[in-house]
């Protein structure tokens, strides 16, 4: 099975918390289940969060039919889902699409509304897969033969409808015959790099080496990194980009060492309503994610813990942003606006 699938009015998702050693699925029967899947990071990654939320709206409407509630109750469902995680704008983008679809068809009978909401969610899913392929093709133009590429977190198939953004570019380079090797930041505290990215790359036979997050600078100093490619959770109009915590530090290191730093993301990750990264809400997660490692306490109870899930990389540290509509170079402010439909 794929990493998620909507079948028989249920959304079945692969539990990413258990990877790579256990393949367990969680069945979402209600919109509250999809809320939990997003909030508890059973699934994660900006584009996938959007897709799962869209299916959450479908499940919410199913409940409206079953309990014979007012159609407009769907707005409460959308508000609830919007509170699952704050940073990835794809969540709000997908919910807005579902809301506009509902507004357009709300006078139809309930069964027809359900069908059309389901179609819209499926469209969001299939569009994302195609978008990733386009990002991969554009991004591959930037990858030189025999490259050592460093990536952070997981911007792969698992984080999207399929194929991946940053990992999509790397896959495309590999499958088009380029000899590439990937340094994978382990990405504390949730270990998306060690558990998910290394898993995806290894499954595809792409040579990879996992490093602890604090080793990237040393590798760069040794001249072992040719470029950095990461995904994004929200991009502001000026190009400032929120991504997994640690991305900012990498960008500073890359700039210092004169290494190209690329963001790969769909245009649904661009928040055209904000002018800079200062306006991006940064999620803070439970301190136990840092305090406890592998079920074991590793921090003295008397110490405080800080656990921001994202940081913002300033546009000046970014060489280019790879989207499905092409590669965007500075000046970002001017060029990002051209991507607006």
Residues with a catalytic annotation lie at 233
Closest CA to 53 of 68, 32, 26: 32
Q: Which of residues 91-150 bind ligand MRU (CB under 6 A)?
A: none
| Distance (Å, whole) CA 167 – CA 129 | 13
Q: Is 161 in the site for ligand MRU (CB under 6 A)?
A: no
Binding segment toward ligand MRU, per CB under 6 A, in 3-11, 216-224, 227-235, 312-320:
227-235
Residue 50: alpha-carbon gap to chain centroid: 9
| Distance (Å, whole) CA 324 – CA 315 | 19
Q: Is 88 in the site for ligand MRU (CB under 6 A)?
A: yes
For ligand MRU, the closer of residues 46 and 180 by Cβ is: 46
For ligand MRU, the closer of residues 155 and 182 by Cβ is: 155
CB 18 within 8 A of CB 24: yes
Q: Is 231 in the site for ligand MRU (CB under 6 A)?
A: yes
Q: Is 251 in the site for ligand MRU (CB under 6 A)?
A: no
Q: Which of residues 195-224 bind ligand MRU (CB under 6 A)?
A: none
Q: Is 153 in the site for ligand MRU (CB under 6 A)?
A: yes
Among 26, 42, 46, 150, the residue binding ligand MRU under the rule CB under 6 A is 46
Token digits of residue 298? 């590793």
Write down how long the chain is: 341
Annotated binding residue at 296? no
Q: Which of residues 312-331 bind ligand MRU (CB under 6 A)?
A: none
For ligand MRU, the closer of residues 97 and 188 by Cβ is: 188
Among 34, 160, 251, 317, the residue binding ligand MRU under the rule CB under 6 A is 160
For ligand MRU, the closer of residues 47 and 60 by Cβ is: 47
| Distance (Å, whole) CA 37 – CA 33 | 6
Q: Is 159 in the site for ligand MRU (CB under 6 A)?
A: yes
Start-to-end C-alpha separation, the chain: 35
Q: List, in sequence order, every residue forming a beta bridge with 150; answer none if it has no partner.
A: 183, 228
Q: Which residue's C-beta sits nearest to ligand MRU? A: 231
Annotated binding residue at 133? no
Name the strand (E) or helix (H) holding 264: strand 261-264
| Distance (Å, whole) CA 169 – CA 327 | 12
Whole-number minimum distance, CB 45 to ligand MRU, in Å?
4
For ligand MRU, the closer of residues 78 and 322 by Cβ is: 322
Annotated binding residue at 45? yes
Whole-number minimum distance, CB 327 to ligand MRU, in Å?
17
Helix ranges (DSSP H) in 230-341 = 247-256, 288-291, 332-337
Annotated binding residue at 188? no
Binding segment toward ligand MRU, per CB under 6 A, in 17-25, 152-160, 252-260, 286-294:
152-160
| Distance (Å, whole) CA 63 – CA 6 | 16
Q: Computed from CA positions of residues 103, 65, 127, 193, in that sequence, does the dihedral angle turn out positive or negative?
A: positive
Q: Is 271 in the site for ligand MRU (CB under 6 A)?
A: no
Q: Is 232 in the site for ligand MRU (CB under 6 A)?
A: yes
Q: Is 155 in the site for ligand MRU (CB under 6 A)?
A: yes
Helix (H/G/I), strand (E/B), else coil: 243:
strand
Helix (H/G/I), strand (E/B), else coil: 136:
helix
Q: Is 309 in the site for ligand MRU (CB under 6 A)?
A: yes
Q: Is the peptide bond before 189 cis (omega within 30 degrees of 0)?
A: yes
Give exposure, 313-336, as e/b (b: 16+ Cβ within 10 Å): bbbebbbbbbbbeebbeeebeebb
Contacting positions for ligand MRU (CB under 6 A): 44-47, 88, 153, 155, 159-160, 165, 192, 230-233, 243-244, 309
Residues placed in the known binding site for substrate: 44-46, 85, 192, 243-244
């Amino acid at each position: 099975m794929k990493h998620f699938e909507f079948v028989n009015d249920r959304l079945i998702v692969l539990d990413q918390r258990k990877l790579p050693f256990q393949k367990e699925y969680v069945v979402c029967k209600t919109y509250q289940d999809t809320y939990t899947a997003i909030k508890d990071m059973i699934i994660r990654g900006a584009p996938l969060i959007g897709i799962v939320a869209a299916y959450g709206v479908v499940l919410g409407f199913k409940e409206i039919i079953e309990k014979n509630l007012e159609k407009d109750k769907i707005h409460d469902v959308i508000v609830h889902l919007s509170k699952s995680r704050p940073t990835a704008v794809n969540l709000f983008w997908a919910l807005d699409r579902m809301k506009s679809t509902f507004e357009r068809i709300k006078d139809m009978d309930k069964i027809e509304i359900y069908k059309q909401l389901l179609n819209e969610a499926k469209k969001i899913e299939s569009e994302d897969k195609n978008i990733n392929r386009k990002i991969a093709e554009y991004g591959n133009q930037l990858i030189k033969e025999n490259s050592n590429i460093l990536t952070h977190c997981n911007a792969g198939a698992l984080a999207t409808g399929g194929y991946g953004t940053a990992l999509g570019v790397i896959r495309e380079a590999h499958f088009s015959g380029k000899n590439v090797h990937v340094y994978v930041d382990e990405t504390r505290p949730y270990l998306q790099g060690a558990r998910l990215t290394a898993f995806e790359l290894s499954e595809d036979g792409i040579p990879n080496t996992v490093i602890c997050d604090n080793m990237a600078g040393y590798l760069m100093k040794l001249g072992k990194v040719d470029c950095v490619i990461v995904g994004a959770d929200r991009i502001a109009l000026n190009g400032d980009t929120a991504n997994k915590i640690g991305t900012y530090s990498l960008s500073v290191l890359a700039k210092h060492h004169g290494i190209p730093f690329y963001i790969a993301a769909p245009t649904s990750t661009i928040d055209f309503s904000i002018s800079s990264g200062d306006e991006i809400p940064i999620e803070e997660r439970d301190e136990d994610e840092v305090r406890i490692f592998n079920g074991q306490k590793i921090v003295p109870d008397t110490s405080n813990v800080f656990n921001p899930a994202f940081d913002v990389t300033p546009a000046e540290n970014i060489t280019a942003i790879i989207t499905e509509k092409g590669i965007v170079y500075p000046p970002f402010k001017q060029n990002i606006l051209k991507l607006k439909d």
